[in-house]
């Protein structure tokens, strides 16, 4: 059974573990060094109300998280946010990613954002499919935009208009 709620400081340990697994084992992030819990705590507590973080629980255990983050620090970009969704490897492909993405979209709408975007490596076909299922469209590809695991990676930009 899935449960969703706002992330709290008590969730930071698991949020950090989930993120660090992605850092070490996937191209879902271009971070190449693991994050410290203290840094993740600052990341959580210093957010604006238009940039929520939610967690998804399975049997009362944090199994994944989603967040809206600033796309760009310039004030004119306050109408758009970047989406992140990370699922613990043990809980992937059980539908939680879709539930988290759907909820973070609803929260983006409720805080008045105009659109959401995601940057996804083109080899991450599961994430691309998930975003398309929730109404994101492909708006472009940045060729060889990053490097990880000794490979150049293309990055797809996907966008969902919320309040057109």
Q: Please, what are the averages of pLDDT over each run of 10 residues along the chain (164 residues)?
A: 93 98 96 96 94 96 97 94 97 94 97 97 96 97 97 98 83
> What structural domains and CATH numbers belong to the chain?
2-161 (3.40.630.30)
pTM here is 0.95
pLDDT of residue 164: 63
In residues, how long is the chain? 164
Residue 151 forms beta bridges with which residues?
148
pLDDT of residue 132: 97
CA distance 33 to 24: 8
CA distance 47 to 34: 21
CA distance 45 to 118: 22
């Amino acid at each position: 059974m899935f449960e969703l709620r706002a992330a709290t400081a008590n969730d930071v340990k698991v949020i950090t573990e989930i993120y660090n697994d992605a850092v070490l084992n996937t191209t879902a992030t271009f971070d190449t060094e693991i994050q410290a819990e203290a840094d993740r705590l600052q990341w959580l507590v210093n957010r604006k109300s238009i940039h929520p973080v939610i967690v998804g629980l399975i049997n009362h255990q944090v199994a994944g998280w989603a967040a809206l983050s600033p796309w760009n620090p310039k004030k004119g970009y306050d109408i758009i946010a970047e989406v992140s969704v990370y699922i613990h490897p043990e809980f992937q492909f059980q539908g939680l990613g879709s539930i988290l993405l759907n909820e973070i979209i609803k929260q983006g709408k409720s805080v008045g954002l105009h659109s959401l975007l995601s940057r996804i490596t083109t080899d991450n076909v599961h994430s691309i499919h998930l975003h398309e299922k929730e109404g994101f469209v492909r708006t472009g590809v940045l060729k060889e935009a990053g490097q990880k695991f000794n490979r150049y990676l293309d990055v797809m930009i996907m966008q969902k208009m919320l309040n057109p």
